[in-house]
Structure 1
């Protein structure tokens, strides 16, 4: 038998060796491609079968868990301590079936806790604690895969709100390189830390991406009894994204005490921060900032010049009418003329007819500036 195998191999080698080198290489590539194609398709087939089987198991587990969870939750007003203990024992038996049932149970408890309020929410919280499901979330934080750690963070922040004991576990994750893990850690920190939920901002070295900021704002606005600090203390952060985020929060909470710190940002090296500071100073009616903004107007680029015109118009102190009129009458940039015109419309002591007379005395296309002014005074089309 061995001789026959050896003879077959030898025959194949002699047959293969009779071809030129480039044909031999082509044959090898074709054979490898066929083998890899077969392996890839077989692997894909097995994966689809496994995924389908796993989905069926999850569906069945979810149906059983949902039925058990909701059976007594609908009677929550009349649920005594004795009834709750029996209820918890039934749920525990379900949880101990296997790891899949336990995770489905955690997911469903969190889902109902997020969507129900009052007594139902309290029962679910009590059930979560009695079954020690927090231990499962803590174990996930110690796993290597970031997906598991992120899932553990979601479970902790939803079910352990206000539990400051877990805050120390979050510290190593607050500046993690993984974006998803980092945002979950920061969101959990806000919900768990009672005394100073925004303390992490002082030590944030990674960028707070725009979508991070949106998610954090949602967490902040939906967390009851949140201890809100003076966000101006973070405006000196070397992290530009932290500074930008705090400017948004100052606007949301209308923290007027931050105006002096916002004025200091007019010298910030970042154009984005300067523009945000100028815009917010206008919204906060910071009259003390007008002179400095106007003084910086010639040195700034077009984007910030437009913001300055808008803010001066919003503040409307009445002291800088001449500045706005000068920009409207003398500027050669269309966007500056238009923005100055719109700022003038809302400005105290503004006399449209007087300004039109000045426009008509100009040598260069007075009709264009008058048209722009008419456009600005029409509230239906000014934007």
Structure 2
């Protein structure tokens, strides 16, 4: 009796498990079918949207005949989000009148609401996408809301917010540099630099405060800003950064000093050279190479012959080549007392010069 009951119970358990598996399979199939339908629909809509965008850019909205497929689909939230995404992507590819036509489309179909809704979502990629779209379509009214994302924990979000601030407000949009603690990536620095077209007068104190920031990436970005706009008045502040704790900041300072083209730059760099880390010393030698300052010849010879670091020797040899000192290098390489390492370094430098 007990055995019969156990077998019956196991059979019921088996049926239950089998039913559960079948339900899961059916659910997966339904979900896959739904995803497939969405994918096919999105593909069709993409063709319709791309066609519409192309026609508007080429012919203008007023010269295009009505598209029933486009009109019917334009009421769908999924279609509108895809349309918005395509407009934002297309905006990056065009400029001038073409860009304005895209923004006209954006306004005509009232897509601003779709973009604004994304700012109230919890998913990071949706928030970042919304900021991108509002920025691309120049919806300046959204700036107060976008500014609240400057302190968002996600880099994807706060970087888009930073870019939006600078896109709309130019130099004034950089106010977040006063308090930012996160690192500004190389790519983000480039985006911000491209967006800044001029620096207002009397902004020296603000820029100087950024050069004193505890955030190294803020200092580095500011140095790039100085190079772009040739802010000669801050030359002495750049000099001070040669004592900065970060080697990366010092390297950027060396590059900035060369860019600012002060006649005393090379002499000063040779003076501070002994106190610099090896990587900064190499950068100083590269800067001397670019400057082709003949006053540095003896200094370079000393680095070539008396330093122990191979990388420094290479930089010194290349700089001497730039100063047209090939005969000197050839003479050194032929001396019996010259080490094999130095001979190879000189050969390398001479070959680079030929190339």
Instruction: Specify the TM-score bucket, using the shorter chain as the normaliser.
Output: 0.7 to 0.9
Between 30-39 and 101-110, report the one with greater CA deviation: 30-39
Structure 1 position 150 matched with structure 2 position 128: yes
Structure 1 position 365 matched with structure 2 position 325: no
**How far 1:153 moved relative to its partner?**
0.7
**How far 1:186 moved relative to its partner?**
1.6
Cα distance in 2, alignment partners of residues 246 and 33 from structure 1: 65
Change (3 A) 1:33 1:372: farther
SS of 2:280's equivalent?
helix
**How far 1:74 moved relative to its partner?**
4.2
Cα distance in 2, alignment partners of residues 117 and 355 from structure 1: 52
**How far 1:237 moved relative to its partner?**
2.0
Structure 1 position 321 matched with structure 2 position 297: yes
Give the greater-gyration-radius structure (CA): 1
TM-score norm. by structure 2 comes to 0.78
Structure 1 position 226 matched with structure 2 position 210: no
Structure 1 position 99 matched with structure 2 position 72: no
Equivalent position of 1:123 in the other structure:
101
SS of 1:293's equivalent?
helix
Equivalent position of 2:350 in the other structure:
377
**How far 1:60 moved relative to its partner?**
3.2
Structure 1 position 336 matched with structure 2 position 312: yes
Structure 1 position 51 matched with structure 2 position 24: no
Task: Name stretches of at least 5 consecutive residues in structure 2 with no aligned partner.
Answer: none
Change (3 A) 1:378 1:73: closer
Change (3 A) 1:355 1:10: same
Equivalent position of 1:3 in the other structure:
none
SS of 1:155's equivalent?
helix
Cα distance in 1, alignment partners of residues 348 and 94 from structure 2: 51
Question: Cα deviation per residue 1:249-281 (whole Å; 9 max; x = unaligned)?
Answer: 444455444432221111111122112222343
TM-score norm. by structure 1 comes to 0.73
The equivalent position to 2:150 in structure 1, one of 168, 171, 174, is 174
**How far 1:35 moved relative to its partner?**
9.7
Structure 1 position 76 matched with structure 2 position 60: yes
Cα distance in 1, alignment partners of residues 157 and 277 from structure 2: 38
1:281–1:311 Cα contact (<8 Å) kept: no
Equivalent position of 1:24 in the other structure:
none
Equivalent position of 2:276 in the other structure:
300
Equivalent position of 1:243 in the other structure:
219
SS of 1:207's equivalent?
coil
1:287–1:315 Cα contact (<8 Å) kept: no
Cα distance in 2, alignment partners of residues 9 and 191 from structure 1: 78
Q: What is the 5 A alignment of 1:30-45?
A: 44-45=28-29
Structure 1 position 12 matched with structure 2 position 3: no
SS of 2:113's equivalent?
helix
Corresponding residue pairs, total? 348
Question: Cα deviation per residue 1:332-355 (whole Å; 9 max; x = unaligned)?
Answer: 3322222112112223xx655456
Change (3 A) 1:316 1:50: same
